[in-house]
Amino acid sequence: MLTAKQHELICFIHDRLAETGVSPSFEEMKDALDLKSKSGVHRLISALEERAFIRRLPNRARALEVLRMPERPTPHRKGVARIVSKAEIARTMPEPANDVLEIPLHGRIAAGVPIEAIEGQSSLSVPAALLGNGDHYALEVAGDSMVEAGILDGDYALIRRTETARDGEIVVALIEDSEATLKYFRREGAMIRLDPANRAYDPQRYAPAQVRVQGRLAGLLRRYD
């Protein structure tokens, strides 16, 4: 039997994988569960691993696989859980696609300080299974301020076009219509705060009129030489 927080976390991970195909970051999990620190997330992840509900995929950053799911409580059976097989989970996930899509590649985007947004004419071949619904484009990551979210210099960030964002989502933010950066999006009073995922960098704060969301992170591609 899972605790309430363990149940909440595995449902959050499962839903995010079903939506984007990418595991949520520890920061996103912390915010979703209203925890005070990421150490609480680590403890919950370890407990779910010990109970064989999830596993961490080796040699891949922020990669989790849901092995089985407790049944979500219903109004008639509150608190009653049933183990759902991996096959049943697979039926709820997006069908894998073997085809490859060509999406626009719009230059490099800073994961550190903002840099000028580059609109290039190149394209990137991406497995369709990584994208999901919506219109997408790619940006090459420059910098190291998102390393704690598993986003490294030289990665290709796959971005779903959108002009809105929820707190805790990783977005492409266009600053004063001239500079773009990849950061966690948060509202802080009357300001917009763009948070890095690297303790060496400070958050960036802007008035709402200075920031336009250009898309939300949908996935990553990494090349190994």
Catalytic residue numbers? 145, 183
Round to whole Å and give the CA distance between 177 and 174: 6
Please list, residue by residue across 168-197, b when 16 or more beta carbons sit within 10 angstroms of its beta carbon and e when fewer do.
bbbbbbbbeeeebbbbbbbeeeeebbbbbb
In the DSSP assignment, the letter for residue 89 is H
CA distances, 2 to each of 49, 80, 205 (Å): 12, 11, 39
Give the SS3 label for residue 209.
Answer: helix
